[in-house]
Structure formats: C-alpha cells, structure tokens
Structure 1
C-alpha cells in the first residue's frame, strides 16, 4: 500500500547503542529502566503475642522455613508462622543447655552452642524431628570449648562454624579468661563432629585479659560457600576468611552504631545489623549495612529501621532479623525496585538517539511504530526534531547534534536543559503516531521512560518511516487541496493505513506460520491438525514439532516396520523392539517351545509385537497414545500388540538379556537380622488380571461389574 516508503529500524542492542543511555538496562530483546533488588519487609512475627510462650532469647530458621526459638526458660520451640502452629522440642528440666545458648540449623539438624561454664555440652547437634542427640563435644584438642557464636554454611549441609577462645587461662577470681594477647578463632566442624579447619588472624587477639563470660554477645559469625566472616562488635571490625587459602580480609566499620549480627547472602555480600536503642545517644535511625565481600560498602537496607541482635539468610536470600528485646522477628524478601536517575532522583530513564540520515534533503518524515510494554502507572514520552543540517547552536556553542547527544561526559541534566527548545511536543505512550512538521535530511529523537517504584516500560522495537505517504493520495484532488481540512483527514486515514500495513506485513511473512521451528502454541497445534494429530497435549510441543518436520519421510514409510519404529521413537524418545512372526517361526516349529511362544506372542502369522521398557509407558494415557500410533501405522491386514516389558526374574516370561534382565552373582536376600530368603526363591505374579493391586488398570485389564 505504501509504495516507496522505507524506515529505520531499531530492534537490536547494537542499534540502540549508537545513542546515549541514562539509567537504562539494555538487553538482547529491548531495554527498560534499570532495576535492582532491594529488601522489603514481608512478614513480622511477634513472639511476645504467641500464647503460652515465654520471652524469646534466641532464634534460627529450620527446614521448611520453620522458626526454632529458645525462650528464657531454656525451652526450644518449633514455630510455623503461617499456620501459627507451635511444638515443644525441648521442655523444662532437660539440663542440656542454658537460656544463653546460641542456635543454628543445618538441614534437619539443630546445633546448640553454650558457653555457660556449668554446661556439659558446649557444642551439640540434635535431630529436629525428635530431639535425638547426634553428637556432642565439651573440648577439642585438650582445649575446653567456650563457643561465643555459632553458624552454618549457607546453601550447604556439611559445615558448622563456632567462634571460640584459642587461649584460656584461670583469672584471679578463679574464672576462665582469655589472657592479654590471647587468640580468638573460628573452628570449622563437619556434620560428623570432626574438626576440619581452624581460622585465625592476628587482628583477633585481645589487647587485655578478659573473662570469657564478658565476651558474650561480642562476636557474631556468618558463612557461605567459600567465605566465613566474623564481626567483633566491640572493636567494630570484620574479618573475612576464605576457604581457598587466600589471605584474610580485615576492615573497620566507619559508620556510627552499636553493631550486632552479621550474615552473608548467596552473592557473598555482608549484612551487619545495629542493636542500638532508639533515641539513645543521639540514635534516631538504625539501618542494616550492606558490604561487598572485599569490604566496600554498598548500601543500606533502608526498608528496615529497627533493632537487630541477629541476622540470618536462608537459601533463597530471605533475610531474618531478630530483636532480642521485643522478641520480634522480621522477614525481609528481595523485591525488584526501579533505580533512580542520578540527575533527577526519579524512577526514570532517558535515551538520546544518534542521527537518522536519509541522505536526501527536504525529506518529510512520516510516522513511528513503537513496540513496547507500558504497564499502568508508567509512561513513555517520544520527542523529535528534524533538520537538513547536522550542526547547530546548543548552550551557546556551535556543535554537532549527534556528538553532543551521545557525549557521555555531558550530564543528562545538562542535555535536557540545553535541548529543551529543539524537541517537538512529546507524544505520550506512542504505538503508532504521525510525525508532524518533521522535514529535513536528519532526524533525532528522545525517549523518556517514566517508571513507578517497581514497574518500568519495556521498549522492544522502534521503526521510523519516511517519506510522508498517505491514503489521501488515493482520493480525488479536492480532498488533497483543502488546506483547512486535509491535515485532519490525513491523520484520520493514517489509522487505516496502519491496518493495511499490518495486513500486508502478515501476508509477506505468511510462510513463517508454516515453519514448525518458528511457531508455537496454537499455530503449532494448527499445523499438527494437517497431519490429523488432535491429541496435542499427549505429544507436547517438542515431540509435535519433531513429528511435523519428519512428516514427509514418515508418510513415505507408513505401513512399514521402519515407519512404525520411527513414529514410536519420536513419541517415547527410545527405539522400541519389534518382533514379527517370521523371526520366531522356525523356533515355534519345535514342539517344546510352541506353547511358550504362543503364550508370549500368539500364533497369528499376521500379528506382531512392539515392546517398550516400562519407563516409557508410565501412564495409561501414554499407553493409549502408543496403541493408537500402532493402529494408525500398521498395515491394514495385520494386528499389532503393545507389550510393556517388566523386570522379570522368571525365564518363561518376556525375559531378554541385556534389555530387561541381567545376570549377576547370587546373593542372599536378608530381610532383617533373623530372616532371609534362599537363592532358589522366585517372586512372581503369573496371572495379574482382575487383582486389586498395583497391576489393576480399569479398562485395560480390569472391569467393574
């Protein structure tokens, strides 16, 4: 319809990268405003409101996101916050640990570390299901253990880390203490209770002697695969150890705060909490600090501004924050957030194009077609200007427009200010729009993406058409020469022009709808109907696509052995075993084998058997589909049987060596310490029809009367 019209198309990263981007996330299929993941509060558990539960001193997260809580009476509770179900794992009077113990969880195991001198089990591991003790230790390598903190490796089930004094002496009052210059280290244990490694650093030595009891709540440990971190809250330092043997990293926290709690996410970022009291010592806001593993500060978790005595990540990077004063547990989830444009501090992005050069002067630009997803609460603004000159005055300087727009050293704010008078009125959320008063060899455009807190427009493709053409050219001259009404009529007809363009584009690319590799969904099912395949769900897209592609060759082989095998192979992914009468006819003439072969394959010379392993016929629906394939592909005068091979242990059934039967050395089957089965015992169910057990299939080998 639009003879002689051409267009510029921007639909690949290379096309867009010729321009200037600000706060844009460029991908292979388009671009949007940059996003980042930030924590926001998902749920708050107020343990002080749980009926019958004393004040909570410590917590950890067990399997299934269940909370494991230690109360002031040294009870251990398992609490499901969604259902509000609570269960007592350890009740009063157990004398296993005190209410000052530290908790950690690893798979279905609970680790309890207690530095209380009266405790006989300084480090113990229990089964969460029933409280059974798996192992417990009181000392290591002749050193009495006083675990000051405990944690497990994130995303792993085989590592426990305890922070302990490595040098212990007896103080003047008879209490154990760490002497001046004494070492603090981290002991790594495996799931069996064996020490794997000891991590030390010179910066962790104490400057003065100190009783072990006063070190409580000073040290906090966190670990992820390859990284172990230790926070010394009193000295405001963090020490990061690496399992690969690299030198430890030691850095000091420069921010103000009373730090407590450290955790590591799966990206090896460090999170450090603040246990300061609100309104105390000038503290008005408390944030969780975020650091890279190299000690570089990244950001603050601004969505949480409360007290934190313990931080904990789970495998999905959810962050748990425990307030030991109120007993409140806050669950924070990562959610996508639209990033702010640095120059405006708004959730928006700006794109300035390079010049679109037609190489001809006085060209009148026609329209744009924008393919974009524009969610509610977001907006796209398209502005443009055209000129026969590629240079002009901007901000008092004579510059190349393209060089100025694409210069990364000029801020976005400066570009927006200097070019304010160039651009047309913005077209809001354009999908198909005429370019009015756009005449010139060159055209430049500006795209502004306005997002919300969580959503952003997504630009996939842009086409800019030229020269100006219109359906008004097909009307009598009187409609074209009316200067007052022609512009309106031209814009009105432009809507129908778009419909015609789309129709012609579909016709031009109609062949793509016949390509099984290019279509999916309803179009693929439509192609399948050409082959009389109606049960698309049974085949699935991958198998259906393969069947359509091989259809010409398969239909040449229809009614042959090779054709049937290929069809079944496409459906099951495995080549079946096909047995015809002529293959065993000679053996059937032996009287001793006639009855066996008749039982297995029948005595009809026009009957064949197609055999498949059971893993390829798992459901009755699959069985019916395969039987339908056999019925469609077999010669008209023959009968086909489907046999699903079973792992027989009896030589008179469908037993085929190397297929569903294997020979091995005999072993005695022991049922328990008092019962066994001898070598010559055979388990078999010869007649399985009409039995209410695993072989019962209604409509196949069983009926209800």
Structure 2
C-alpha cells in the first residue's frame, strides 16, 4: 500500500556489532542486559525443626540433599528438608565418636573424623542407609590419627581428604602435641581406606597442643583443587593435583574467618565467624575469591555468622552457624548486572550510522520486536544529519567514531552528545521518527532492568523514506499545519496494520512450503491431503508425504503407489504378493489347500507383508491398514501380514526375509544369558565319539 519504502534491519549479532554495546549480553537471536548468578537465601533450617536433636555441633549434606547433623549428645540425625522427615542413624550412647567429631559425605557414605583420644574410632566411613562400617582407621604411618578437618569432592565417591598432624610427640602435660618444626598435612584416602597421596601444608615454629588445633583448620576440595583455611593466620593455601606449586594468600578484610568451600567454577567462598554483639561486628559477609587469590564480590544476600560452608552437586550453598544452630540454604538465582558508571541494572547501545546515500532523506519510523517485562523499560533516542561529521565537545569528529569509541567514558559521551539526541521514546514497538531528516541516522537504546529481569530486544527495523496514509486524503487534510501532524500520527497506527497484512500476503507462499512450516501449519497442509491423524505420522513423515503428494496421486490405486506410501510411513519396502505370482503352484493339488490357508483363494485379494519391527503398536497397525484401504486398487482386498522371525511349517516362512539357516551354537551361560532357538545342549569333551551319548535306561530304550 505504501510504495517505495525500505528499511534497515538489525536482527543478527553481526548487525549489532557495528555499534558499541555496554553491559550488554549479545546473543545470536537478540540482546539484553548482562546477567549473572548470585546466591539468595532459599530456606533456613533451625534446630527445633529437627525433632529430637539437641544443640547442633556439625553438619554435612548427604545424597538427595539430605542434611546429616551431629548434636551435642553425639547423636547423628538424617533430616529431609522437603518432607521434614527425621531419623536417627546410630542408637543413643553408641560411643563410636564424640560430639567434637567432624562430618563429611562421599556419595552414600558418611565420614566421621574425631580427634578426641577417648573415641573408639578416629576416622571411620559408614553407609548412610544403615550405619554399617565400611572401614575405619586409628593410626597411619605409625602415628595416631587426629583428624582436624575433612573434605570430599562434590559428587565423588572415591576420594577423602583429611587434615592431620604429620609429626606427633608427647608434651610435658602428657597430651599429644605437634613439636617445634612439626608438620600439618593433607592426607588423601581412597574408597578402600588406603592413603594415596600426602600434601605438606605448613610447619610450626613452636610446639602446639593438638587440642588447640581442633577449630583452627577448614578444608574444601574440587576437581584438581584443594583449599586449606588457617583461621589463626587468616591465610588460604591452594593445592593443585597436577603438581603445580601451592598458592598462598592472606585475607585482607577484618574478621574472624571460618568455613571454606569451592564451587564448580573453582571459586572459593570463605565465611566470617565473628560475634556481632561482643565484638561490635556490624555486617558479616561470605567472601568470594578466585582460585588464584583474586578477591571477587561478596555474597551480600547472607549477613550472619558462619562456622562451616558446603556446596552440593547442584551448586547450592549451605551455611552452618553453630551458635544459633541454624543451617541456611542458599540457591543461585539470575541477577541483572549493574552498569559500572551508574551502579544501576541498565545497559546502553550506540549505533553506527545508517546510510541511505540520499541527502535530505526524511526518516519514517521504527519497529522494535522486544520483550519488556514489568518494572523494566526501553528508551530509544535518535538524530539525523546529512553530514557524517560534526562538532562534539569542541572537536570536529566523526559521529560514528566518537559514539563507538570504547575509550570515551559513558558519562562524557552522554554529556557531549546531549544536544544531538531526540526526546526518548519509551518502550517503542512501532513509533514515528519526528523531525528526522538527513542522509544518516544514529540511534541510542537504553535498557533499564530490575534486580532479576531485563528487557530483551530481538530485532529492530528503521524505515525510510517518509510515507503516510495522509497522502491518500484530500489536500485540505495534508495542508493544515495545526492538525496534520496529529492526523498523520493517528493514521500511522492503521498504516502498521496494513503493512503487517501486506507483508503476510507477500509471504503467503511460505505457508505452502512443507520444508518451511511446522507444527499447526504443517498439520493444516496435511488436512489438504485428508490426513487427519497427524500424531501417527509425525512431522518428518508428514513433510515427506506432502512433498511427494503430486506423484503419489498419479500412482494412487497401483502397486507402486501403495508401496511408496507404506515406505514413507514405515521407512522400509513392504513385500506384496499377488495371486498371479503363485497361480501355477496353486494348481498342484498338494499345495492348493496350503496356499488357500496362507493367501486365500480369491484372485482379487493380495497380501502386504511387513517385518514386526515396523508394526510395533496397534496405532501403527491401524494407520497402515488405513493407508492400504486408501491406496489399494478398486474392487480388490488386501491382507496385512506381520511376519514373525521364526520358522514354522505351514506358516508365513520366507528364507532370507524372516527366516535364516545357521549352524547350531553352544550355550554359554552368563548374567544376561538366554537360550536361542538354534542352541543344542551337548557335552563338548565327549562330542563326536561313537556310542558315547547312548546309555541304556538313561537316554535310550530297546524295544
């Protein structure tokens, strides 16, 4: 309806890359504000929820995200968060370990390490399902075991890490101690309780009582990485399983650090165990570091005391506070990233020039295909000029080079070009470009998001030259300077409707192309061929049928047409047997009754045979029978025969089709054994010996 109108289209990533995008997540099918995953509190489990427990001393996460907690009476409890189901793992008063024990999990196994000398077992692995002991250790390499910290890899059922003193002596008070120059190490155990590797962590300058080390260390493990937190020295040592030198760094912020964990991206999380009231601590965050010691952001959604941190296989973070007895469950949620210059969840895009090659061009409108959630916004601004260069901030520059220069800050760019931009159009879907005249056009798009949501732009079209339905009205309506602009904008709404309708008419042929359509449009084409059972055919077969329809209609009612239809549906050539093919054999009196039983005696009846793997369900059988009914020649009957893969006399047995001759095979028994049809039971060592298988009264009789 509006002749001579063209447009610039930006609908691919390469189209947008000509401009400058800031804080933008650019994808092939559109762009939005960059987002990241941040932790937020999903739920808090308190001691009183776990019925029967006393004050919680330690916890770990078992299979299915079950919480396993140790209370101050040394009782172990398994708690299912969703169902709120609680059960005790060991009987009360078991004396296997004390309330000071450390817990970790490894698949469906529970690891308990106890540095208390009165404990029956220092390091033990139990089945979580029934409490059965898998293995236990009291000493290693001639030394008593004093497990100071435990860790396992997330999802691993093979490796356990324990922090233990590598040197032990007896102090003046008779208690075990790490002597001057003594070492603390990380010992690696396999699933059978064998030590496979030892890492030396640090040496002491003076003797230290083992009891004083009980709460000093925390350990975390991930694939290829180990991290040891020394709460006294406020330091982290990162070990690498590939043999690289360990990395050592200290924690700069103030705080009493406790608890360390590693996520799937090998980022370190370290908690703060400071007391808010006694020590005047205002805010306590979980700190996040890269594995190289570089400080990242904080987990700001959690502000509280931390004694232990754990990650599970799905990335959930568990935070345990021993004083309050609370276990906080933190899940990762998508969060809109903040723009560095404004610290707001927003992004901005500056375009390169759109060049029409004609001066004094009057630009028409834009059409924006975008998803704009609630509490988000898109702002579109523009300016046009016949010159590609102009004065900006006292310098004569190329507009495109200046707008797309990443070295110019966003604040400088917005202030210097403020006089160029039009008033922003808010959330435009279809908007006229007013007073936009010139060969070139530049535009600016601002995306304003919320904490969790962002607008998403799929494509943008910029139309030119100016065209309006007002041109079809009498001149009096076009020449009224007061009312014509409003009338033009009013008619623009109907112009869009007509444009959409004409676009559909121009591309209506695409709806008749079976390779271009899918879903309901493909089914719609199928109904043109009287195919109503679309689910039975499926899109791939239906598309093939529609494309071959002209040829198939020419062959309808013929043997070839029927075979091609069945082949499209089943993917295999059927076997068709007609009466003339066995007429001569049927004249033999001995075979007449057999052939009548197999194929019938009606000369106008034929058989269509298929292997059973192509007719697995009743639905498939009914569909094939419907195809036969529609495609068979007039005044004929057809029997559908599903061939069975065996040989029976007087049945449909066809050598090379559903029947094969083979040598007998010996029966071999294993876990998945079955006796096939061609198997003989024989004695291998007595095979091929005269009379050896003939035993009177056993397998032979004399009559």
Q: TM-score range by the shorter chain?
A: 0.7 to 0.9
Shift of 1:241: 2.2
Which structure 2 residues correspond to residues 543-554 of structure 1 after superposition, within 5 A? 543-549=541-547
Shift of 1:261: 1.1
- Unaligned stretches of 5+ residues in structure 2: 673-678, 683-703
* Pick aligned residue for 1:357 from 355, 358, 369: 355
Give the 3 Å change call, closer, same or farther, for CA 382–158 of structure 1 in structure 2.
Answer: same
Shift of 1:546: 4.9
2:216: which partner in 1? 218
Asked if the contact 2:60/2:69 (under 8 Å) is kept, the reply is: yes
Shift of 1:172: 2.4
2:183: which partner in 1? 183
Asked if the contact 1:601/1:608 (under 8 Å) is kept, the reply is: no
1:317: which partner in 2? 315
What is the distance in 2 between the residues matched to 1:652 and 1:222? 73
Asked if the contact 1:613/1:645 (under 8 Å) is kept, the reply is: no
2:472: which partner in 1? 474
2:253: which partner in 1? 255
Shift of 1:564: 6.6
Asked if the contact 1:576/1:611 (under 8 Å) is kept, the reply is: no
Shift of 1:315: 1.3
Which structure 2 residues correspond to residues 319-338 of structure 1 after superposition, within 5 A? 319-338=317-336
Shift of 1:405: 1.1
Give the 3 Å change call, closer, same or farther, for CA 335–562 of structure 1 in structure 2.
Answer: farther
| Deviation by residue 1:20-75 (Cα, 9 ceiling, x = unmatched) | 22211111111111111111111111123433221111111112211111111111
Tell me which moved more, 415-424 or 527-536: 527-536
1:53: which partner in 2? 53
Q: Does residue 1:162 correspond to 2:162, yes or no? A: yes
What is the distance in 2 between the residues matched to 1:651 and 1:145? 76
Q: How many residues align?
A: 669
Shift of 1:567: 5.8
- Unaligned stretches of 5+ residues in structure 1: 672-677, 682-705
| Deviation by residue 1:144-198 (Cα, 9 ceiling, x = unmatched) | 3222222221133322222222222222223222222222222222333333332
Shift of 1:266: 1.2
What is the distance in 1 between the residues matched to 2:281 and 2:370? 47
Tell me which moved more, 471-480 or 530-539: 530-539
* Pick aligned residue for 1:300 from 298, 301, 305: 298
What is the distance in 1 between the residues matched to 2:670 and 2:597? 31
1:375: which partner in 2? 373
| Deviation by residue 1:244-287 (Cα, 9 ceiling, x = unmatched) | 33333222222221111111111111111111111443421111
Asked if the contact 2:367/2:462 (under 8 Å) is kept, the reply is: yes
Asked if the contact 1:601/1:609 (under 8 Å) is kept, the reply is: no
Q: Indicate the SS of the match to 1:613.
A: helix
Shift of 1:236: 1.7
| Deviation by residue 1:570-625 (Cα, 9 ceiling, x = unmatched) | 656x64875858999999999999999999999998334322339x83x6545544
Give the 3 Å change call, closer, same or farther, for CA 388–218 of structure 1 in structure 2.
Answer: same
What is the distance in 2 between the residues matched to 1:587 and 1:174? 107
1:140: which partner in 2? 140
Asked if the contact 2:51/2:86 (under 8 Å) is kept, the reply is: no
What is the distance in 2 between the residues matched to 1:166 and 1:367? 76
Asked if the contact 2:351/2:403 (under 8 Å) is kept, the reply is: yes
1:194: which partner in 2? 194
Asked if the contact 1:559/1:634 (under 8 Å) is kept, the reply is: yes
What is the distance in 1 between the residues matched to 2:592 and 2:667? 31
Which structure 2 residues correspond to residues 623-638 of structure 1 after superposition, within 5 A? 624-625=622-623, 628-629=626-627, 637-638=636-637
Q: Indicate the SS of the match to 1:513.
A: helix
What is the distance in 2 between the residues matched to 1:517 and 1:211? 78
2:701: which partner in 1? none
Asked if the contact 1:48/1:55 (under 8 Å) is kept, the reply is: no
Asked if the contact 2:34/2:336 (under 8 Å) is kept, the reply is: yes
Which structure 2 residues correspond to residues 524-563 of structure 1 after superposition, within 5 A? 524-549=522-547
2:610: which partner in 1? 610
Asked if the contact 1:39/1:333 (under 8 Å) is kept, the reply is: yes
2:692: which partner in 1? none
2:667: which partner in 1? 666
TM-score, structure 1 as length reference: 0.86
Shift of 1:499: 1.2
| Deviation by residue 1:66-94 (Cα, 9 ceiling, x = unmatched) | 11111111111111122211111112122
1:405: which partner in 2? 403
| Deviation by residue 1:448-476 (Cα, 9 ceiling, x = unmatched) | 11111111111111111111111111222
What is the distance in 2 between the residues matched to 1:595 and 1:367? 83
1:639: which partner in 2? 638
The structure with the larger Rg is 2
2:128: which partner in 1? 128
What is the distance in 1 between the residues matched to 2:621 and 2:327? 53
Asked if the contact 2:121/2:137 (under 8 Å) is kept, the reply is: yes
1:25: which partner in 2? 25
2:700: which partner in 1? none
What is the distance in 1 between the residues matched to 2:328 and 2:321? 8
Shift of 1:557: 6.8
Asked if the contact 2:307/2:322 (under 8 Å) is kept, the reply is: yes
Give the 3 Å change call, closer, same or farther, for CA 246–359 of structure 1 in structure 2.
Answer: same
What is the distance in 2 between the residues matched to 1:7 and 1:278? 63
How big is the alpha-carbon RMSD for the aligned residues of Structure 1 and Structure 2?
Answer: 3.5
What is the distance in 1 between the residues matched to 2:317 and 2:659? 50
2:517: which partner in 1? 519
What is the distance in 2 between the residues matched to 1:292 and 1:197? 25
Tell me which moved more, 116-125 or 39-48: 116-125
Asked if the contact 2:218/2:228 (under 8 Å) is kept, the reply is: yes
| Deviation by residue 1:379-423 (Cα, 9 ceiling, x = unmatched) | 111111122223333223333222221111111111112222221
Asked if the contact 1:127/1:133 (under 8 Å) is kept, the reply is: yes
Shift of 1:629: 5.0
1:690: which partner in 2? none
1:487: which partner in 2? 485
